[in-house]
């Protein structure tokens, strides 16, 4: 967002945390406006959430923000951090020419749709040794750097994976916010920007009456995996 600050109009980023409760309902956990991001900022965010009453995070789905996974586990050490697979695919495709993208995506799908972590690792090896990996070696390197945060979702069946392998829920929310601010130019200060965002978020929350379709089965899986941590949530 463009916000006036100390006499200048500056570009500031807005960060939103979206949580899903054990019953599948969604809730906005926080809203932050910052010019810069980094490990210290993320640590402050996580400590703020804990201070305000967030007792536990079972799975955190993140999209590659530097320092964020470490900040999460520093404050909530039992949390499983899962990288957003869709974000990982987008990062991979940045290295690929437009004419190759449509045929390369199925090769990546073999990795994240593998039956388990071992099969996924083998699919990644096959991709790296195959024609696409040889043509675009940076892709396999991206996946290997993130692999520890790719592995967690292999523990779940396919229909449950859809819930935890992407940040689509937050991205859909972001698109609503962008539409609201697009025609407004810049804002006089952070407070004015926050008020508009708050109103848009409140309106969006009215549509969250029902959990996702897959949540019923996911809930059973999470209850087995996390035990009392899930029930007490």
pLDDT digits (tens, 9 = 90+) for 56-85: 999 998 887 788 999 999 999 999 999 888
Domain locations in the chain?
Answer: 2-84+167-231, 86-147
> What's this model's pTM, rounded to 2 decimal places?
0.83
- Residue 8 belongs to what H/E stretch? strand 8-11
pLDDT digits (tens, 9 = 90+) for 184-230: 888 999 999 999 999 988 888 887 777 777 788 788 888 888 998 98
CA 127 to the chain's CA centroid: 25
CB atoms within 10 A of CB 38: 13
Query: How distant, in Å, are the alpha carbons of 12, 87, 135, 142 from that of 138?
Result: 30, 15, 9, 6
pLDDT bracket for residue 232 (50, 70, 90): low
Instruction: Name, in order, each residue with C-beta under 8 angstroms of 71's C-beta and a sequence gap of 6 or more.
Output: 39, 42, 43, 45, 46
- Do β-strands 59-62 and 13-20 pair in parallel, antiparallel, or remain unpaired? unpaired
The confidence score (pLDDT) of residue 180 equals: 85
pLDDT digits (tens, 9 = 90+) for 144-172: 998 998 998 898 887 788 788 776 777 78
pLDDT digits (tens, 9 = 90+) for 69-125: 999 999 999 999 998 888 899 899 999 999 999 999 999 999 999 999 999 999 999
Rounded to whole angstroms, how far apart are CA atoms 32 and 15? 5
The confidence score (pLDDT) of residue 167 equals: 67
CATH code of domain 2-84+167-231: 3.30.420
pLDDT bracket for residue 138 (50, 70, 90): very high
């Amino acid at each position: 967002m463009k916000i006036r600050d100390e006499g200048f109009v500056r570009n500031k980023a807005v960060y939103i945390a979206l949580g899903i409760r054990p019953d599948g309902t969604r809730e906005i956990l926080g809203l932050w406006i910052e010019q810069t991001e980094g490990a210290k900022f993320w640590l402050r965010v996580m400590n703020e959430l804990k201070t305000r009453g967030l007792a536990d995070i079972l799975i955190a789905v993140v999209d590659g923000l530097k320092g964020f996974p470490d900040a999460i586990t520093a404050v909530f050490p039992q949390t499983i951090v899962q990288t957003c697979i869709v974000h990982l695919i987008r990062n991979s495709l940045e290295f690929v020419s437009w004419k190759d993208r449509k045929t390369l995506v199925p090769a990546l799908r073999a990795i994240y749709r593998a039956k388990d972590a071992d099969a996924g690792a083998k699919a990644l090896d096959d991709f790296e040794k195959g024609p696409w990996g040889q043509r675009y070696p940076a892709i396999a390197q991206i996946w290997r750097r993130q692999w520890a945060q790719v592995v967690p979702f292999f523990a779940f069946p396919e229909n449950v994976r859809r819930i935890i392998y992407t940040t689509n829920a937050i991205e859909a929310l972001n698109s609503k916010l962008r539409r609201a601010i697009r025609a407004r130019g810049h804002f006089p200060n952070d407070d004015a920007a926050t008020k508009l965002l708050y109103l848009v978020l409140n309106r969006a929350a009215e549509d969250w009456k029902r959990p996702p379709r897959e949540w019923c089965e996911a809930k059973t899986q999470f209850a087995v995996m996390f035990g009392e941590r899930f029930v007490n949530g």
